[in-house]
Amino acid sequence: MAGIVCHTVSRILSSQASCSSSVVAVRHSHWFTSVLSLKTSMPLRAEPKKKKKVDPRREIMMKERLKKKLKRLERVPPELIPIEDFITPAKCFDETRIRDAPKLSFEESERRALLLKEWSRYKYAQHQTEMDTINEALEAQRQALDELKLESEELYKAAVSPDTDIFPFQHEGPSYTPPITNYEAPEGKYNDITRVYTQ
């Protein structure tokens, strides 16, 4: 039995050797290497990274510190960014800047009160006169349009239609200085005093 096995193995090896010797000239690529040829891997010129020994106590301490910091941040409410337009400047609270109103005599206060009433009556009369004038003009216009409508429907429609030429407007751009292509206008000099808030 052992003789038969040895005989078959020797036949297989001899056949592979004959095949490899006939195909060696054709195989130029690493994909077609011979079965009996030596196989080598590429040289590795890198040293494997050494794992740092981490102390478990140190990791626990770092986690506890982070937890304490988070608790402190949760206790303190977030600071809101102030709106400077709503804040009254400190110089306005200076009591030395307050000026007392001048004390008026009884006759002067009475004269000012009567003058104010007289001015109010004058402005009211002026307003009433203007409103009466406008109402009279609108009534005269309405009567004229009614009479025109009875005379001619076409003239009435022409009178009612809006006139686009009543305010003529013509505009021409600057012709002495043509625009410069790819011109970037300067921003000018200024001091940026905007405050930057970080949380």
Query: Shortest CA distance to 20 belongs to which of 30, 6, 33?
Result: 33
Residue 53 has pLDDT above 80, yes or no: no
Query: Token pair 């095949």 is at which residue?
Result: 19
pTM of the model: 0.35
Residue 176 has pLDDT above 70, yes or no: yes
Which residues have C-beta within 8 Å of that of residue 33, sequence separation ≥ 6? 27, 39
75-86 pLDDT, tens per residue?
A: 877 777 778 788
87-140 pLDDT, tens per residue?
A: 888 888 887 777 888 899 999 999 999 999 999 999 999 999 999 999 999 999
Handedness of CA 146, 149, 154, 157 (dihedral sign): positive
Query: Token pair 């405050």 is at which residue?
Result: 195
Q: For residue 14, give the 3-state DSSP assignment.
A: helix
**Per-residue model confidence (pLDDT) at position 193:** 82
> What token pair was written down for 159?
């009178």
> What token pair was written down for 32?
């077609």
Helical spans, DSSP H, in 54-152: 56-75, 106-151
146-166 pLDDT, tens per residue?
A: 999 999 999 999 999 988 777
Average pLDDT, rounded, for the chain: 78
User: pLDDT above 90 covers what percent of the chain?
Assistant: 32
